[in-house]
Amino acid sequence: MTTLFGFYQTLGPALSVLVVFTFLLAGMVKGVIGLGLPTIAMGLLGLAMPPAQAAALLIVPSTLTNLWQLTAGGHLPPLLRRLWPMLAMIFVGTLVGSAGLGINSGAWAVHALGAALLAYSLYGLCGRGMCMPSTWEHVLGPLCGFCTGVVTAVTGVFVIPAVPYLQSLGLSRDELVQALGLSFTVSTLALALGLAGQDALSTEALGASLLVLAPALLGMLAGQWLRQRISAVLFKRCFFVGLALLGAHLLLNG
C-alpha cells in the first residue's frame, strides 16, 4: 500500500486531484471518439510535472484500455499480418529514441510534447482523408512506425504519424478502431520499456498508474454513454481545438 500511495503523497493533494481529473477527462474523450487518452493525459499533466513522470502514470490505463479496444472487432489476425512491419518498427524506434534522446532528457522535451500535440490537433482540424496506394505500404509502414516510435520516446504521445498513416489505409471503421488499439498497445509497452531503461518507471510509479485505471475506465463508460447523446463531429472538433491551444502553450512556454 505504501508503494501504491507514496507517489501521490509526494505529489501532494492539488496535483493528485489534477491527476484524477485528467484521467477522468481522458477516459471520457476515448469513450466518445475512440482515442485521446494518452494525448490528453500527457498534455494536461505536462503543465504540472515532467513528461517522464506523466508518461509513467499513463502506462497501466493506456495498456489496458487499448487491449480492450484491440480485442473487439474480429479483425486482429489479418491486421497483424498487414501491420506487423509498422508495429515492429514502432517498438524499435521507441527503444532507439529512448536510448538516444529520451523523454527524461531536459526541458526541451516539454516543447517537443507541445509540438506533437499541436501537429496532431492541426491534422485533426484541417487534414483531409488521404488514400495511400497499397504498393507503398511495405516502405511507408516501417518508416511511419519508426518515426512514431521516436516521437513516442521523446514526448509520450504516439499518434503522430501513426494515426494519419492508419487512416490512409482504407480500413473499415471497425478495422481502424482495432488497428489504432493495436498500434497504441505496442507503443505503450515499448514506452514502458524505454522509461524503465531511463530509471523513470519505478514500482511506486507503476502502483500510482494502477490507481488511475479506475477514473480512466469510469471516464470511458461516461464517454460511451455521452456518445449516444451528442454530435461526435462537434465533440471531436472541440477536442482538437482544445488540444491545439494546449499544445501551443506547451510549445511556447514549456
Per-residue confidence (pLDDT) for residue 22, from 0 to 100:
92
Closest CA to 223 of 69, 26, 65, 19: 26
> Nearest CA to 155 among 204, 118, 199?
118
60-116 pLDDT per residue, tens = 998 988 887 777 767 888 999 999 999 999 999 999 988 877 666 556 677 777 888
Amino acid at 252: L
Residues above pLDDT 70, as percent of the chain: 90
pLDDT at 201: 81
Q: Of 166, 162, 177, nearest to 72 (Cα)?
A: 177
- Residue 13 makes CB contacts below 8 A (sequence gap 6+) with none
Q: Which residue range is the domain that position 154 belongs to? A: 2-253
Q: Quick check: 121 pLDDT over 60? A: yes
For residue 18, count other CB atoms closer than 10 A to its CB: 17
Is residue 243 pLDDT above 80, yes or no?
Answer: yes
Q: How many domains does the chain contain in total?
A: 1
Query: In percent, how much of the chain has pLDDT > 90?
Result: 22
Closest CA to 66 of 45, 43, 47, 87: 87
Give the Cβ contact number of residue 218 at 10 Å: 16
The confidence band for 120, taking pLDDT boundaries of 50, 70 and 90, is confident
In this prediction, residue 31 carries a pLDDT of: 82
Give pLDDT, residue 106.
Answer: 58
Q: How far apart are CA 126 and CA 160, in angstroms?
A: 15
pLDDT at residue 90, as a whole number: 96
Position 233 scores a pLDDT of 78
The DSSP annotation for 220-241 comes to HHHHHHHHTTS-HHHHHHHHHH
Comparing 107 with 215, which gets the higher pLDDT? 215
**Under 8 Å between Cβ of 175 and 50:** no
The model's pLDDT over 158-184, given as tens digits with 9 standing for 90+, comes to: 888 888 889 888 888 788 888 988 999
pTM of the model: 0.84
Give 1's pLDDT tier (boundaries 50, 70, 90).
very low
Between 134 and 66, the higher pLDDT residue: 66
Out of 9-13, 37-41, 173-177, 195-199, least confident range: 9-13
Can you tell me the mean pLDDT for 35-48?
A: 83
